Chains A and B, each alone.
Chain A
């Protein structure tokens, strides 16, 4: 494989952002026809930056791109697409109110700007594409009403409809459930069979091991090396990424839980479309306990968290924190009572992207005395606080005054986690806490949650990552259509039992 000319080569790419951040310091990667190349690297290593350059979204400061041996320069994504390169982003770029068909044909609707769109013809072409790849998406439903996994397939179809033969996928699995990941991989294998070339970015080592042919590892804007997947191990990859050995296990000493900190009684919550999303849940979280909630996304987890955190109306039932009825209380009152919340959707609920790292670092506690000077904020104290968070959680940020949107995805997540635990809560809701976070930081965040538990705090963990829930929880519930299919101890169930419960089969009732 190594002797043939690569279908794509990015040579000596340097990228300095306008604010002076050196994201890439001379990166060279080669991609061969028909392979799946994994791109691995810590948060902020420069993976997204590199791919945005390839896709014509960013101009490289220096460096060249060769496509089939010929130098190319893309001025825009459309340019890249016309040259057969497609990209599916970490954050989807779909027109939410359009259906799949409209999203896909946009810009390629056929002849005549003012003639009627030939919907049937487009539908036929799409159906053929889907049949070849062995999956279906509903073409007539507004995409905002579709699960993320389906939206992602629409993004992929959008690129294939344009006949791209090199497909870039930036952390495609971060938002997917395990089942959706398996389906995605089936699609990727089909694409590979058809001769397409794929660049695959992920933080999950086992995924990279499973799906890729070769892996290129990037650290701090430089290539560390490239290995054949067949000759790699997760440990090796982790070491290449981080530059040291990474413990992929979590130390969790046994611990007797204490008094009940948090309790939910017969909770009913409605979803956005008025359906009953949470249907009569009752559970409690004790001091010194991590209570995990697993389940396929979209089974009411989001609504449950929002209701608990005071962001959504409780239809029926009660919520207690430290014995006090907190049903219907506002978020600020809840924070003052010792609740913290790592939201699942960082860009909409956790951060204000346009504001600086410093400002974001005190969101939700900006009224606290420690940050004020009379009626004003004491910016020195705020900056100190931000610096402390950055240091402790190794958030790589250009500075405390940089806007949060200039942080890489994983670093944004780390900042939220750092801020929330800095509130010194007695009860913390952690929703998808390690989504999009690299291995080293995932390890750090998970250990931190365990540390909170060891310090006798109550932790409610909600995650689509089943391994995460299994590893961290003292007790776990499996949620299906707004109800718990069972509350179990992770070491007392088999994966199969959990799989059944995730599919809606009730488990044995347990004490």
Chain B
């Protein structure tokens, strides 16, 4: 492995880190406040699709990112109303959203662009990289943004009144309520932040990293992000690290698969599972057994 390959591997890892990190960090915030949402896969699908549309209409990738955030926000608001205000089940809306996302985007690509299953986003609607070399390796501005988001999220959660309250309503909403904290408002806000971040992640897939919209564009990243959230012990910084690890092994797997000499000796099925297994082991190993917020997934009703 030479220096160019190392750089390529590293940049590839960072690019793959972004969507998982953003979604995980959002999920951490939401669950710290006590709201479970398993619909991130669906949000990624929708926001990748609509993000591309917004970007193409405006001829600007950043508009796509904002559009993705907006789409995420809408789904988040729906989930928040159902779970936080109407005290509904936290899991069912997500299942619906994921199913809908899978079907609707496939249909939407055909209906909007008239192509079957895939559409390439024109380069003027894509986000231009911060840095690029002659071999096509590049660094997206979304990478530093993602790292900043994770750090800020950690700081807000653990150092500020807002974060203290978010964690309080997820651990013991009754205690928070008794001290005059508007449990529903904090939970709802957390859900909005989480889904907006997932929305940004989705748009990043189409208008930045992959530059295309496909009917399987989320490729399970919404679920990986959830697993990563759990193994991070609901900590944004560790979730960031976990996402990077996943990105790294994901790229390593591709590298091995593309290397005829290595690919011949190791069965590819094994290589394909590598990123999942290794990320799981490493992150779970660091954290050990973490405990979810006590009221995670439970609606709060005052007596």
Contacts and interface: CB of A to CB of B under 8 A. Distances in A.
A binds B: yes
Most chain A CB within a 10 A radius of its CB, from B164, B168, B177: B164
Nearest to A52: B303
A69 interface: no
Interface in B136-151: none
A281 interface: no
Interface string A103-144: 101111110111111000000000000000000000000000
A312 B164 CA distance: 35
A82 to B, nearest CB: 7
Nearest to A78: B180
B298 interface: no
B161 A94 contact: no
B162 A114 contact: yes
Contacts of A94: 172, 175
Which interface class (under 10, 10 to 19, 20 to 34, 35 or more) fits A? 20 to 34
A105 B159 CA distance: 13
A81 B180 contact: yes
Contact of B164 (A76, A79, A109): A109
Contact of B177 (A76, A102, A109, A116): A76
Contacts of A113: 160-162
A245 to B, nearest CB: 37
A114 B168 contact: no
A93 interface: yes
B171 A114 contact: no
A114 B294 contact: no
A98 interface: yes
B160 A115 contact: yes
A81 B160 CA distance: 23
A116 B160 CA distance: 5
Contact of A93 (B160, B172, B180, B294): B172
A72 interface: no
A116 B159 contact: yes
Contacts of A116: 159-160
B178 A93 contact: yes
A95 B171 contact: yes
A107 B179 contact: yes
Contacts of B175: 93-95, 103, 106
A102 to B, nearest CB: 6
B159 A102 contact: no
Contacts of A115: 160-161
B294 A82 contact: no
B161 A95 contact: no
B227 interface: no
Contacts of A114: 156, 160-162
B172 A117 contact: no
A106 B181 contact: yes
A107 B177 CA distance: 9
A399 interface: no
Given A57-B303, A114-B162, A77 B171 contact: no
B160 A117 contact: yes
Nearest to B156: A114
Contacts of A78: 177-181
A106 B164 CA distance: 7
B112 to A, nearest CB: 39
Interface string B170-190: 011011111111000000000
A95 B159 contact: no
Nearest to B175: A93
Contact of B161 (A96, A103, A112): A112
A107 B180 contact: yes
A109 B176 CA distance: 13
A232 to B, nearest CB: 33
Interface string B10-28: 0000000000000000000
Contacts of A96: 171-172, 294
A97 interface: yes
B160 A95 contact: no
Contacts of A79: 180
Nearest to B303: A57
A106 B168 contact: yes
Contacts of A102: 164
Contacts of B167: 95, 97-98
A58 B180 CA distance: 15
A19 to B, nearest CB: 13
Given A109-B161, A114-B160, A115-B160, A76 B180 contact: yes
B181 A107 contact: yes
A105 B167 CA distance: 13
Nearest to A109: B161
A108 B165 CA distance: 10
Contacts of A158: 179
A281 B162 CA distance: 49
Nearest to B178: A77
A201 to B, nearest CB: 18
A46 B40 CA distance: 48
B180 A97 contact: no
A95 B294 CA distance: 9
A107 B176 contact: yes
A98 B179 contact: no
Given A97-B294, A102-B164, 8 more contacts: A94-B175, A95-B175, A98-B171, A103-B175, A106-B165, A106-B175, A107-B165, A113-B161
In the A-B complex, the 9 residue pairs with the smallest Cβ-Cβ separation, listed nearest first, are: A78-B180, A109-B161, A107-B179, A93-B175, A77-B178, A113-B162, A95-B172, A95-B171, A107-B181
19 contacts: A58-B303, A76-B177, A77-B177, A78-B177, A78-B178, A78-B181, A79-B180, A81-B179, A82-B180, A93-B172, A93-B174, A95-B171, A96-B294, A103-B175, A106-B168, A106-B175, A106-B181, A109-B161, A114-B162
Interface of B: 156, 159-162, 164-165, 167-168, 171-172, 174-181, 291, 294, 303
Interface of A: 57-58, 76-79, 81-82, 93-98, 102-103, 105-110, 112-117, 158
